[in-house]
Amino acid sequence: MCAWHTLEHKETTVAHANVHRTSPVGNFLGQPIYQTIESRNGTYVFDRIAVSIDGEFPLDQLSKDELLIKPGLIYRPKY
């Protein structure tokens, strides 16, 4: 099962143009890791790097309301 959840929430797809990101706090696989990502659905905070199994990212490693964003970054809602 492919597990890319690129800025897709379970009910709502967020357009990339409507997403605001803070300054990068690091890099993973050549892509920036943003500390926070803001969209009309709320603010998400970088939490961890997803576990890859055979080149895919199983969605069962996500908690409720978390996002998996390429290239394997997990963001959680900011409370």
Q: Express each pLDDT in 14-50 by its tens digit.
A: 344 467 787 899 999 999 999 999 988 899 999 999 9
* 44 in Cβ contact with 67 (< 8 Å): yes
Q: What is the pTM of this model?
A: 0.73
The position carrying tokens 């409370």 is: 79
Return the pLDDT at 18: 64
pLDDT over threshold 90, residue 76: yes
DSSP 8-state class, residue 25: E
Q: Which residues of 58-76 are buried (b: 16+ CB within 10 A; e: fewer)?
A: eeeebeeebbbbebbbbbb
Q: Would you state the structure tokens that stand for residue 37, as one six-digit string? A: 């990502």
